[in-house]
């Protein structure tokens, strides 16, 4: 693959780190939903953000099946309609995999603009499923969640790519 000028060559992603980051994002979602602000409609979905990131950067390792399983786990945790998050995460990961080659050519700020419609689509799918089964509309503050997630994209990208940015054998000539 042709790289952008100035782009750093990354090490291969460790599968344990990928799955560990997904499990950590799932745990953070559980913690944020229970402890800090409850199930606020504006709260960012960190698991969705992590799934999009790995769907873009490692589509051969994190597919739609993984997104579906994590969605079922979120459905069980939140007590929502079984399949609501599973469908939303599956659609989200499908769209992330569909644009992953194009997205990597942009800067982090531009990537967050490109990721925003994906996140809006995932929240819209979850809302549509919720409304179809007779749930209540959570309010217009839910429009903030995809915006907050898109603003978190550069931070998530920097944090999740840190292990791949180090040199395989650091020495005096390659301190990174």
Mean pLDDT value across the chain: 88
Average pLDDT over residues 133-158: 92
- Looking at the domain assignment, is residue 90 inside a domain? yes
- Looking at the domain assignment, is residue 168 inside a domain? no
For residue 151, give its domain range: 15-163
- Looking at the domain assignment, is residue 92 inside a domain? yes
| Percent of the chain whose predicted confidence (pLDDT) is above 70 | 88
In eight-state DSSP terms, residue 106 is S
Q: Does 168 have pLDDT greater than 70?
A: no
Residue 1: its pLDDT value, please?
54
- Looking at the domain assignment, is residue 172 inside a domain? no
> pLDDT digit string (tens) for 85-143?
999 999 999 999 999 989 988 999 999 999 999 999 999 999 999 999 988 898 888 89
Q: Does 172 have pLDDT greater than 90?
A: no
**Where residue 156 falls among pLDDT bands split at 50, 70, 90?**
very high
Residue 174: its pLDDT value, please?
60
- In contact, 10 and 176? CB cutoff 8 Å: no
**Scanning the structure block, which residue is given the tokens 């839910």?**
142
Residue 32: its pLDDT value, please?
86
**Scanning the structure block, which residue is given the tokens 């809006």?**
120
> How many domains does the structure of the chain reveal?
1
Higher pLDDT, 139 or 171: 139
- Looking at the domain assignment, is residue 174 inside a domain? no
Which of 30-39, 59-68, 97-106 has the lowest average pLDDT? 30-39
Residue 126: its pLDDT value, please?
94
- Looking at the domain assignment, is residue 1 inside a domain? no
- In contact, 86 and 71? CB cutoff 8 Å: yes
How far, in Å, CA of 137 to CA of 81, rounded?
14
Average pLDDT over residues 149-153: 95
């Amino acid at each position: 693959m042709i790289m952008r000028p100035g782009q750093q060559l990354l090490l291969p992603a460790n599968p344990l780190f990928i799955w560990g980051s997904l499990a950590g994002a799932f745990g953070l979602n559980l913690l944020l939903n229970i402890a800090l602000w409850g199930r606020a409609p504006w709260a960012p979905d960190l698991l969705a953000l992590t799934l999009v990131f790995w769907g873009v950067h490692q589509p051969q390792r994190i597919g739609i099946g993984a997104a579906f399983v994590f969605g079922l786990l979120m459905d069980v945790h939140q007590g929502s309609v079984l399949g609501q998050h599973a469908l939303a995460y599956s659609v989200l990961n499908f769209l992330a995999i569909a644009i992953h080659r194009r997205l990597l050519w942009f800067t982090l700020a531009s990537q967050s603009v490109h990721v925003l419609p994906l996140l809006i689509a995932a929240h819209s799918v979850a809302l549509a499923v919720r409304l179809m089964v007779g749930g209540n509309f959570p309010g217009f503050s839910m429009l903030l969640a995809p915006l907050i997630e898109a603003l978190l994209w550069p931070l998530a990208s920097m944090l999740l790519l840190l292990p791949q940015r180090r040199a395989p054998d650091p020495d005096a000539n390659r301190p990174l």
